[in-house]
Structure 1
Amino acid sequence: MPLMSRLFATLLATALPLSAAAQETLYFSAIPDEDETRLVERFTAVADYLSEELGVPVEFVPVKSYPAAVTAFRNDQVQLAWFGGLSGVQARLLVDGARAIAQGDEDTSFVSYFIAHTDTGLTESEDFPEAARGMSFTFGAKTSTSGRLMPEYAIRENTGEAPEEFFDRVGFSGDHSQTLRLVASGAWQVGALNYAVYDQAVADNAPEVETAKVIWKTPPYPDYNWTIRGDVDARWGEGFADKVQAALVGMDDPDLLAAFPRNAFIPAANEDYAPIEQVARDLDLLE
């Protein structure tokens, strides 16, 4: 074979794997903390942004539940995910090398709202709502940080009782938007949800906020985070995880940020969520 032909063949052989890696799709998901239609709308735009920044195809994969998001991450159906504090801890414990790479600026000091139907007569106070004793209460999803983990921890810390002991009836709505709707309708007297979902409902003049009012806020805690698998550098090239982190932290489009809603994203690390892991272990919510 002539020298030039051999050189061309060598270059082609080394270029093909890089090209194939560049074209492999990066899949990501998110915990379904709101209805699926809104989630798809939010994250399709994020996928387009990431694809442009990373130079690889990026696709959003919706899931039906918080455990399904963790399972998809564990099974490599998605390589990146927007998790809550607890689901992020669960996912990282299941996948070697997985790490939190970004969080919202607000996620360093997140809070949950306790809301109550106006017919209960409960009003906002800085003190835990002891007057809610014996009422009906709904969490959000069973593995939601802001809709279950930290509200349950707050109930136990302030009353010395399990939620089932303090309240007459306890349920799980499935997501924050549903919690708001159910309390607003009177189906449940009291509930706990992500503060950002409630504040967005206020900003949108949603009718639910007329009958479902904030009565208490939990102390702050770390919450949502972007988590990436530990094997992405081997698949998309050295430094790929850092490149994804840079793209997320560099996301400054107001429309993209408002979809979360977040003012900005900042770097995150696994150790930021040590308090969440400890509470989850205390409540026996980790395998």
Structure 2
Amino acid sequence: MLADASEFDPAEPAWDENNYLSAALTDAGYQRGSTTDLENMRNREVEEVPHGDPVRETPSDESELLDPDTLVFTESPSEDVQGRFEEDFQAVFDRIEEETGKPVEFSKVDSYAASVEAMRSERAHIANFSTGTTAFAVNLGGAVPFGVGLTPEEEFGYRLFATTRADADDIQSVEDFARDDVKVGHSEPASNSGHQAPSALFDQYFDVTAEEDYEVNFSGGHGNTTRGIAAGDYDAGPICSTCFVDTVEAQSDLSFDDFKVVWASAPFPSGPVAYRYNLKPEIQEGIERAYLESDFSGTAYQERTGYNKFVPIDYRTVWKDIMIIQRYNGVEYERSALGS
């Protein structure tokens, strides 16, 4: 089933007939979706959120509003780009200060749970959340997701790559993940492409149920799953496509020709930027302007993340598929479901 790279058609990959070396997908830019995909998400009719609570409204009582002297920004492990550092955000922070008049402090956290807790406890006012964590942030942390990044090529988001090693001739479909001799690595419990989406979509499309048809081995991150497959610690696993690309490009001993993709999902939205719902309205508006009315081309932020601009999103419509996946998996928006 391993097809030549020249046979890869992004519009019709024909996964039931083909596997591809990951190089064929990345050369075609298949790790991200298009603005058409995003517009389809933004424009669909969704009367109410399909799981959990909607985004909280800004309080009408002024005594409940936050007006911090310094805005605290937190960045957690992300579905789209991992391992960002404070200096990568300086262009963004400068714009926020210009629009709000308030300096921005960077606060690094090392887990999904910590990022949500920081916003819930009002120790963080602005955050980048991972895709899968966003609904937890809305339900538990009072987050208001308002924008997602676009690349200069007008690409957005990421996909789930069902990945194995290039020489794994006996793994040609997600159905092969269910074999007793195949060790499958997942990322983390709250990760969308690393656990939640495959738990739902593998079941729906392939009748392969994670934790029933195969044991789930949590690797601790997409990079760990990627490196683990290459090293033989895992035989296969679902990986966030852009995280996969980041990991391979960062490791001199890895090549895209080392990996094979046996199936890929439709695009998911990348982790959004959000602020806390009870910030004063003028602060909320300033944060939105800083992101949505800025061009970050040529900055360290664009170089590190690939994003040169942000576009507005509505949680209710753009996160519909994520909420449906989590509802399918029986996810309750409780802190314990995020892990430690």
TM-score category (smaller protein): 0.7 to 0.9
CA 1:184–1:54: 2 relative to 1, 3 Å: farther
CA 1:46–1:187: 2 relative to 1, 3 Å: farther
Letter in structure 2 aligned against 1:84: S
CA 1:43–1:215: 2 relative to 1, 3 Å: farther
Instruction: Report the Cα offset of residue 193 of structure 1.
Output: 1.6
Unaligned runs of 5+ in 1: 1-20
- 1:171 is matched with 217
Counterpart CA distance in 1 for 2:129 and 2:82 is 15
The question of whether the paired residues in 2 share the 8 Å contact of 1:145 and 1:223 is answered with no
CA 1:214–1:49: 2 relative to 1, 3 Å: farther
Letter in structure 1 aligned against 2:282: G
- 1:56 is matched with 102
The structure 2 residue matched to 1:113, chosen from 158, 161, 165, is 161
For residues 129-208 of structure 1, what are the structure 2 equivalents within 5 Å? 129-134=174-179, 135-167=182-214, 169-203=215-249, 206-208=252-254
Matched, 1:67 2:110: no
Instruction: Report the Cα offset of residue 188 of structure 1.
Output: 0.4
Letter in structure 2 aligned against 1:114: A
- 2:282 is matched with 239
CA 1:285–1:208: 2 relative to 1, 3 Å: farther
The question of whether the paired residues in 2 share the 8 Å contact of 1:24 and 1:56 is answered with yes
Instruction: Report the Cα offset of residue 212 of structure 1.
Output: 3.2
Count of aligned pairs between the two proteins: 257
- 2:145 is matched with 100
Which structure is higher in helix share? 1
The structure 2 residue matched to 1:88, chosen from 112, 134, 158, is 134
Instruction: Report the Cα offset of residue 91 of structure 1.
Output: 1.0
Counterpart CA distance in 1 for 2:227 and 2:86 is 21
SS in 1 for 2:212: helix
Counterpart CA distance in 2 for 1:180 and 1:40 is 25
Counterpart CA distance in 1 for 2:254 and 2:220 is 17
The structure 2 residue matched to 1:26, chosen from 50, 68, 71, is 71
Unaligned runs of 5+ in 2: 1-66, 334-340
Greater length-normalized contact order (CA 8 Å, ≥ 6 residues apart): 2
Instruction: Report the Cα offset of residue 204 of structure 1.
Output: 5.1
Instruction: Report the Cα offset of residue 276 of structure 1.
Output: 1.3
TM-score normalised according to structure 2 size: 0.67
Counterpart CA distance in 2 for 1:150 and 1:243 is 34
Instruction: Report the Cα offset of residue 283 of structure 1.
Output: 0.7
* Same amino acid, percent of matched pairs: 25
Q: Deviations over 1:169-212 (max 9, x none)?
A: 32111112111111111100112221112233455574333533
